């Protein structure tokens, strides 16, 4: 069994590296791995020359130019569209992503945002800060998820979990994706290419869980927003650029869209001057849907499983189509 040099470049904190190292120590191939931690991009640049594997969230083309032996980049997240570079696309380097590591957390976050919109909890919080009792203003506005029609756009791991949670709440679930999920009772109605406007027109709430690609960039634009029900809700835990943010602001200001709950944005951090901050019908979280105390453990398990495959020249799990970005 050959020896492999692998670099972990995930965080300024010690915990991610320690978790990976401890997980590796339980494998019978651990003696065949030289595991190193890169503390910053400069340190990574100094270590990368003879490494075959790097586990990271981002790596630049400048650093890749120094990577003579690199064969596998393991990204530590599911959404890799923004970190795949032209040099990676033109190379033979295998790229993998983390699958399912944060699915539960993101799905829970989406449901939490939905509950805030339906039950007007964000308005309750604002009235509390203002020492105001808003019962008379809110009794006509609160809604139930039970019995409402919720559309989930993107039926990957996160989208499927959102659907399962919605089933418990008693929602009528509509799904949209390129390919049918192949899971019985996941959705009540399924829509695919060519039927997006029909799908959107049915919904009380739209939950976005799809990857960012050339096809999905601004897929929710002014025209699509106009097809939605008056006062419908939008929850985005996907990528900021699947929505035309300017068009969304206008729809929220006119209350064509009754409310939006957003964890992701076209520009991050969201600039202080963004009008989204001051809209009473917009809920903002700072891209934390995927944050979970279990993240590093799950990521380490997945990486070490694939590392064993790499050492044994077996096909890696969760490979990315570099041209498509997912």
Per-residue pLDDT of the chain (326 residues; tens, 9 = 90+): 789 999 999 988 899 999 999 999 999 999 999 999 999 999 999 999 999 999 999 999 999 999 999 999 999 999 998 999 999 999 999 999 999 999 999 999 999 999 999 999 999 999 999 999 999 999 999 999 999 999 999 999 999 999 999 999 999 999 999 999 989 899 999 999 899 999 999 999 999 999 999 999 999 999 999 999 999 999 999 999 999 999 999 999 999 999 999 999 999 999 999 999 999 999 999 999 999 999 999 999 999 999 999 999 999 999 999 998 88
Against a cut of 0.75, is the pTM above it?
yes
Strand-pair partners of 152: 175, 207
Active site residue 23: no
User: Residues 218, 287, 305, 309: which is the catalytic one?
Assistant: 287
Domain 4-101+292-311 = CATH 3.40.50.720: yes
C-alpha–C-alpha distance, residues 224 and 231, integer Å: 14
Active site residue 58: no
**Annotation: CATH topology of 103-284:** Rossmann fold (3.40.50)
User: Residues 246, 268, 280, 314: which is the catalytic one?
Assistant: 268
User: Residues 23, 161, 239, 298: which is the catalytic one?
Assistant: 239
Cis peptide before 120 (omega within 30 of 0): no
| Whether 48 contacts 69, CB under 8 Å | no
Q: Where in the chain is the domain with CATH 3.40.50.720?
A: 4-101+292-311, 103-284
C-alpha–C-alpha distance, residues 146 and 207, integer Å: 16
Active site residue 239: yes
């Amino acid at each position: 069994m050959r020896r492999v040099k692998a670099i972990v470049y995930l965080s300024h904190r010690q915990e991610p590296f320690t978790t990976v190292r401890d997980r590796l120590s339980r494998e019978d191939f651990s003696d065949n791995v030289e595991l190193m931690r890169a503390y910053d991009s400069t340190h990574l640049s100094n270590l990368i020359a003879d490494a075959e594997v790097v586990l990271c969230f981002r790596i630049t083309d400048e650093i890749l130019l120094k990577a003579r032996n690199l064969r596998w980049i393991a990204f530590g997240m599911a959404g890799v569209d923004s970190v795949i570079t032209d040099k990676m696309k033109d190379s033979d380097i295998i790229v993998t992503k983390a699958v399912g590591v944060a699915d539960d957390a993101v799905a829970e976050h989406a449901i939490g945002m939905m509950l805030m919109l339906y039950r007007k909890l964000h308005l309750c919080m604002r009235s509390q800060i203002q020492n105001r009792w808003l019962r008379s203003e809110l009794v006509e506005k609160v809604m139930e998820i039970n019995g409402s029609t919720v559309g989930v756009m993107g039926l990957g791991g996160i989208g499927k979990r959102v659907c399962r949670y919605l089933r418990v709440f008693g929602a009528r679930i509509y799904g949209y994706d390129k390919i049918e999920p192949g899971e019985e009772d996941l959705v009540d109605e399924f829509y695919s290419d060519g039927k997006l406007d029909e799908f959107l027109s049915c919904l009380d709430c739209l939950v976005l869980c799809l990857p960012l690609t050339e096809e999905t960039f601004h897929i929710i634009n002014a025209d699509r927003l106009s097809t939605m029900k008056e006062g419908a809700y939008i929850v985005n835990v996907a990528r900021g650029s699947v929505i035309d943010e300017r068009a969304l602001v206008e729809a929220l200001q006119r209350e064509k869209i009754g409310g939006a709950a957003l964890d992701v944005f076209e520009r991050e951090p969201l600039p202080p001057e963004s009008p989204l901050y001051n809209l009473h019908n917009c809920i903002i979280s700072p891209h934390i849907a995927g944050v979970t105390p279990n993240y590093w453990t799950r990521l380490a398990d997945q990486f070490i499983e694939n590392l064993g495959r790499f050492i044994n020249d077996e096909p890696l799990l969760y490979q990315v189509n570099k041209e498509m970005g997912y």
